[in-house]
Chain A
Amino acid sequence: MTDLTVLARAELTRPDLPYRKFAFWAGFAMLSWAIVAFLYVPLGTVLSAAFYREGSVTTETIARLAGARNVRSALWNTFWMAGATVITVNIVGLFQVMVLEFVKVRGAGILKIAYATPLVFGSVTAITGYNFVYGDSGAVTELLTRFFPGMNRDWFHGWVAVLIAHSFLMTHYHFLFLRAAIRRVDFATVEAARSLGASPISALFKVVLPVVRPTIFAVSLLVLLSALTSLAAPAILGGREFRMLNQMIMGLNSVRRQDMAALLALLLGLISLIVFLGLRWIERRQTYFGGAKTPIPMQKVVLKNRLSNAAVHIIAWVLFVIYATPVVFTILFSFAPSRSIATDVLPSSLTLDNYISVLTAQQTLEPLVNSTVMSVMAIAVVLCLALFAGRLIAKSKSLLTGVVEFSLFIPWVLPSSLVAIGLILAYDAPSPWIFGNVLLGSYAIMPIAYGILIVPMMVRLIGAAMVGIDPSLEDAAQSLGAGPLTRFLRVTMPLLAPVLILVSALAFNDLVNEYTVSAFLYNPNNKPLGVAIAGFAVSNDPETLAKGLVYATLVMSVSFVIIMLADKLGLGRAPISVV
């Protein structure tokens, strides 16, 4: 190439410089607007609803709340249930991890599949399944009454049911994070302990678990957070006598006592914030695993003591039954004729009728379509924002980008109910922030809320992937004449593509399983899957129940495919951090 063509190329690229500048500032303006309008304005509105009345600060709402007996009891229920859940989940979760990673147990491969089910069978879907299997007309209850004719058919009810559901459904943090941590423990330390006379089990308790204690703490805090903000479990299983905080917030909101709802949501937000800060603190203090140059990978030990070996096997397989039963029965009965549902222990025959009736009737198809469309809308918009923000954060370190980064992580700490209350209070009347529109009751309110929920996860993962791309690749493209847009489209995007697909899939999984925000914000135009499933779950009509089972099975299948995809693409093998 002659110098002349170099010059010509230089001249040709000149004119689009102002255009690049314009595109950047347009993107930045959109991002800032979204942050202010959908994050800070709703938060500010919640604060003022809780503490301001007629232009002055008031503590009246606090007093009123403190005086309400049902609020006090919901608070008390929430706290003790969260505490109890942390204990029971740790017992179940630690045992699972021991069986999967530390002790040789027969059939560990099958056990692992059962223990992994909370990853795909969670939230409202799982609660529906539990209610269906253990409820008063459930298959297990049916079976039990054949052995114990005098028993109370309605045993799966109230706090017992909520605690049982929590205990077995919230173990997925243990499954993901604690297992990963234990695998990084140097097995030589176990052998050292045993050479000093410790039995395998005592080596586990004296050496392995203390090493991973920070992870156990962190996982416990995540469980605490989930239990505190639990909604589907108490709503479906708790009944009248056992209500938790999120239900209270929803109830107060529906009777237009929004000052009180706002205050309770803030309280929940404050607790979440404290828990979150605790997590950060743990993560920063987390010690690195050993100093050994060549750590020996964790190995499974054989329990020589027959008694303890038998005990471990029995408990492991009982857990298997507990985990597998709701999943298997939910899937099985989704193929059962409706007369068989709620009467038989096993389906009398298998048929596709339920699926055909769900997928062909407008009314039952709608929640499926709604959830899909709204999730895709939210993901598409957040994807663009995350790409823009990720690039901004990766390329420049200024106060402004710091503020953007911080803002986009805020929703991580916010309980879903606080996000929902914020949107409701800020946009229940025409607002200049959204150009004079009203969100409450509109179709858009759900996709917007969904977007807020997935922003932190998507920005974090996409941002990390962007930082991971070798900067000299872009330099190389630039030295070959590629401008910023070409570089982005031809180099960065193709390299990011797997991550983008993966992150979008994970977000989709979260959103089709979403219940809390949906329950607050949905209206007849955009009723999502989670709400529809919960509605069917409490029905006594076998036809309706069948539809719920079909939904649940469909959602489970989607989750299953997405989780497998994530595992294939290696997200499971990446060093996992809890926060």
Chain B
Amino acid sequence: MIDLERISVSYGDTTVMHDLSLDVRESEFFTLLGPSGCGKTTLLRTISGFVTPSSGSVHISGRDVTALAPEDRGIGVVFQNYALFPHLTVFENVAFGLRVARTNRAEIASRVQDALDRIGVAEHAAKKPAELSGGQQQRVAIARALILGARVLLLDEPLSNLDAKLREAMRDEIRDIQQRMGLTAVYVTHDQHEALAISDRVAVMESGAVRQIGTPRELYASPTSAFVCSFIGDTSCLPPHPAFQPNGRAVRAFVRPEHVHLGVRDGDGWINLEPTLERMVYQGARTRLVLRAGDTRLTAEAPSDQPEHVNGDTVPVSIRLADVHLYPEAQP
């Protein structure tokens, strides 16, 4: 559906993206995830046409759109701050694209009314954007982006201006709209929980390059690099241990908190550690134990009804070797 091929982007003299290729499938919810400044916005704007790559090509539905202006691509875009036109009413904001396309009045009225009904802001049609709540503005922005019948929707951190509760509700709503209309969505976020919760597939980016693409499950269970492993989900770095350094090569070993089990386990495929307890973080049903083994810190998770420990206690833990993610030291 969206094919990015060997895209390079430069701002002036600095190249921020080099030879990046990516393929987004039809009707897929695809997320670009990465730390601030890694090039998510740049990549998204390359798809929408606001950024022209210095080399490489963009194909949408098999058609080369690399040289096409943004207004000619027929892509829906939701901006981080919504970019609702402050001088127009909600109705006129949504109608904007239709007016530009010189659609006739009756059709505009019915289509906009329809769209407003569907997103549940019909009673606010005559208001200016500033009079709406954040969530309502968000809905209007989505309705406006989709009014021309775009099959592709691009969203750049659309939830970052909302408070935590609303974020989750809007997240599910966006996902719902995408499913219902069968849209191809490309979604930018730096929040890994959001990415895992909403996406069909996620591309993890770092300094202008894609480090790994996969379903949320794949990324969490089998990260292919230390960066992805530590960026997605919680991880602890393990102290050196002969069990995963058979030939003495330096490696970095990571483990998820839920794979650090309390108590000693003997047998093949397990390693045992005896860290001391630094502090306990009560989280309701479960409690986190922050442990110190040598000069590394290890996080374990246990049901809250397990026996209490006192700070400074030695708490034996065991980890299954299969749950340890190993990466060569040299790899970033």
A-side interface residues toward B, CB under 8 Å? 1, 3, 5-7, 9-10, 13, 470, 472-473, 475-483, 486, 490-491, 494-495
Contacts and interface: CB of A to CB of B under 8 A. Distances in A.
Nearest to A471: B83
B83 A481 contact: no
The main secondary structure of chain A at its interface with chain B is helix
Contacts, number: 86
Contacts of B74: 1, 3, 5-6, 9, 481
Interface in B41-94: 48, 50, 61, 63, 68-77, 79-81, 83-88
Interface string B120-157: 00000000000000000000000011011110000000
18 contacts: A1-B74, A1-B150, A9-B72, A10-B68, A13-B72, A472-B83, A473-B85, A475-B83, A476-B83, A476-B84, A479-B48, A479-B71, A479-B77, A480-B147, A481-B97, A481-B101, A490-B99, A495-B87
Contacts of A483: 71
Given A480-B97, A481-B97, A491-B85, A475 B71 contact: no
Contact of B96 (A7, A9, A480, A495): A480
Contacts of B48: 479
A10 B148 contact: no
B181 interface: no
A391 to B, nearest CB: 18
B100 interface: yes
B71 A494 contact: no
B97 A470 contact: no
B79 A475 contact: yes
A10 B72 contact: yes
Contact of B100 (A3, A473, A481, A495): A481
Nearest to B97: A480
Given A482-B71, A495-B86, A475 B63 contact: no
A490 B95 CA distance: 12
A479 B147 CA distance: 12
Contact of A470 (B70, B72, B81, B87): B81
A13 B49 CA distance: 15
A171 B144 CA distance: 52
A480 B72 CA distance: 9
A492 B99 CA distance: 16
Given A1-B149, A472-B80, A479 B85 contact: no
A480 B87 contact: no
The 3 closest A-B pairs by CB, nearest first: A480-B97, A6-B74, A10-B72
Nearest to B61: A3
Contact of B70 (A7, A473, A478): A478
Contacts of B69: 10, 13, 478
Nearest to B74: A6
A5 B72 CA distance: 10
A1 B86 CA distance: 27
B144 to A, nearest CB: 7
Contacts of B148: 1, 480-481
Contacts of B63: 3, 7
Given A6-B73, A10-B72, A479 B86 contact: no
Contacts of A13: 69, 71-72
B72 A476 contact: no
A475 B50 contact: yes
Contacts of A7: 63
Given A1-B74, A495-B87, A472 B149 contact: no
A20 to B, nearest CB: 11
A494 B87 contact: yes
A472 B72 contact: no
